[in-house]
Chain A
């Protein structure tokens, strides 16, 4: 077994550090070492996007990255969306527009949509569909997810939320 490596990250604003095997996937680091189980594993092939998180502001499928590669980075996961007990407009949008059924893809969808809205505050339907094209949903379908993101975009514009 290879020598363990120290991985230091800032996750949702909190500094965390752990010693892990260099081959540990970032998603397992997040789920099992940091205990943030909102980030899910849905496939073995990086197709599904359920494990999408933000690494230094960029979306990453955390099953395609090793934990030591994230050393010194800032991670943002679904658990970080809620602020002062207030749902993020995206979370509210998914709830209001029935953008989920089983909820397994939802954290990844939320993170991809979040990154999209950071770059593009007024996305067209096409932009949204491209924005979540790396994420699979197997129950609700994409229609309501698109509506949910539109809901959030509108709300964020009105409220000036980030």
Chain B
């Protein structure tokens, strides 16, 4: 077999990683290591219920706490038409809940404060009144007529949100019809949680003088984030009139991607929305998710996904 010499390297030779030198010295520069002048911190208030109507949100006490700069709710965002955003699956989702929460740990309010401890304290002071609604925990029952309908925003009153099909159905049916033996398999997958050691996080830095938004984030899909950040233009229109007037540029967003090698396949989720929002309201915030946030919010394969082979 052809093999190059060790000096030439390539196929059949092991190579040393170039990036290790910084990691073994503690100079990895992860998102949580980014510290910008005047940086402020964000903390999310999440729903303890899987399905509930939001009756009221009182942010007065939280806002009065020294060091708190802003407390944002879904209603605030709705005023700017920003309460909903598009998802990667051609649907839309709430940025901060309005009307109802549809899953446990859904984001209900976002607190921005001068330091992370104050932000966490203030989040505790946000008073949310919920009216519990029947929950739907078994995906197999999602389309039963007796199941509660979660989405009120859609015209079709159904829990069937999207349909995904690939391949040639007719050809496949034909093959199966003519097969000597057919088998039907129900495969069950447990809830699987991809959990890299570095949690999701983001630092957003909007420069009102240049009109540039720089976002530092943990992501495997910076392009998806960039798409989300197109909304920055909408935001500026609302909150940064002068900047917009002077710097109306199409490409004024910079994404800087940080360590994402241990992505485990879930960081396409556009987590950066919160720091980004805060950025336009209060300066230069950061939002790095804690482990609890990570375990409860981040998407993994659905529980009990069922695959079926027609016979």
**Chain B interface, DSSP helix/strand/loop, else mixed:** loop
Cβ-neighbour of A95 out of B21, B66, B198, B260 (below 8 A):
B21
* A24-B117, A42-B291 known; A104+B262 contact, CB < 8 A: yes
Cβ-neighbour of A137 out of B16, B26, B197 (below 8 A):
B197
- How many chain B residues touch A (CB < 8 A): the figure is 33
Which chain B residue shows the least CB distance to A80? B26
Cβ-neighbour of B197 out of A36, A91, A94, A138 (below 8 A):
A138
Which residues of the partner chain B approach A40 to less than 8 Å between Cβ atoms?
30, 32, 197-198
Docked pose: A134 CA to B66 CA in angstroms: 38
Docked pose: A43 CA to B25 CA in angstroms: 21
Docked pose: A77 CA to B26 CA in angstroms: 9
Contact A87 B32 (CB under 8 A): no
- Minimum CB–CB distance for B64 against chain A, Å: 14
Task: Give per-residue flags for A82-97: 1 if the beta carbon is below 8 A from chain B beta carbons, else 0.
Answer: 1000010001101110
- Minimum CB–CB distance for A145 against chain B, Å: 12
Cβ-neighbour of A79 out of B16, B25, B198 (below 8 A):
B25
* A94-B20, A104-B197 known; A38+B26 contact, CB < 8 A: yes
Contact A102 B198 (CB under 8 A): yes
A41: Cβ under 8 A from any B Cβ: yes
**Chain A interface, DSSP helix/strand/loop, else mixed:** loop
Docked pose: A28 CA to B26 CA in angstroms: 15
Interface residues, chain A, with chain B CB atoms under 8 Å away = 1, 21, 23-24, 28, 31-32, 35-45, 48, 50, 77-79, 81-82, 87, 91-92, 94-96, 98, 100-107, 110, 136-139
Interface residues, chain B, with chain A CB atoms under 8 Å away = 16-17, 19-30, 32-33, 35, 66, 116-117, 195-199, 259-262, 264, 290-292
Across chains A and B, which 8 residue pairs bring their CB atoms closest together, nearest first? A38-B26, A103-B23, A102-B262, A78-B26, A37-B33, A91-B24, A43-B291, A139-B262
